[in-house]
Amino acid sequence: MSESVLVATAEGIRTITVNRPDKLNALDQATLLALDAAFAQAAQAADVRVVVLTGAGPKAFVAGADISQMTGLPALAGRDFGLVGQRLMRRIERMPKPVIAMVNGYALGGGLELAMACHLRIAADTAKVGQPEINLGLIPGFGGTQRLLRLTGRAAALELCLLGEPIDAQRAHQLGLLNRVVPAAELEATTRQLAERLAASAPLALRAILDAVIVGGECGLDEGLEFESAQFGLMFASEDMREGTGAFLERRKPNFAGR
């Protein structure tokens, strides 16, 4: 793994950290590729049930793409750079395990796009988020226009992209960009508690929920309902469903094995 991405696993929770604090964790191509590899490994790892993504240092989750690498790129190379970022975001979004963004500071440009690709986003009350690409003569290129539209609606997506002004965590929460905002001193503990709760849940059902919500958001209602019904039925073939329903009836805590 690249030094720009750190990976640690404990009790079913894999923490992936963007480790470029001197650059406010800006995403150059090497870091994008290292993150892609880290998430590919996490998806396949049998000992991983939940992934937490964060940034190193006290200032930034990810402050954006690395502008120094982007300057001077010709059009086709710029498009290719954007596609590398989009592939990473899509991999995260389609992960078979829940991914939590622990937003510990600035999440701007590519950093907000990275957070939006995660399934849940918890932020410190000191965090700021935004899509400031307009100030560089650019547009969001890692999926920002599309995921903002889906998460916040057209009005907020256009405001964030057209004005390019960061907003604080509280407003981001109101817009639906963040699931929770907590005091900075409590961010790590709160994220850990949520990750532990997810790690103890039924893995097959978690995956089916992730698939159903993502697929449903990309197709018509009838297709989404059909997909949901298929996933619902598959759960009846699992040991976890027997364990979960049995534990409920026996008034005990279930022990899910992912089978």
Nearest C-alpha neighbor of 178 from the set 235, 239, 100:
100
Report how many helices (DSSP H) and strands (DSSP E) the chain contains, helices first: 11, 10
- Pick the catalytic residue from 93, 113, 186, 228: 113
Contact 10, 196 (CB under 8 A): no
For 2-6, the CB contacts below 8 A with 24+ separation are: 2/30, 2/31, 2/33, 2/34, 4/28, 4/30, 4/31, 4/34, 5/31, 5/34, 5/35, 5/38, 6/56
Across-strand partners of 121?
101
Q: Is 186 a catalytic residue?
A: no
Nearest C-alpha neighbor of 25 from the set 67, 58, 68, 55:
55
Across-strand partners of 54?
17
- Pick the catalytic residue from 133, 196, 223, 243: 133
Q: Is 223 a catalytic residue?
A: no
Which residues carry out catalysis? 113, 133
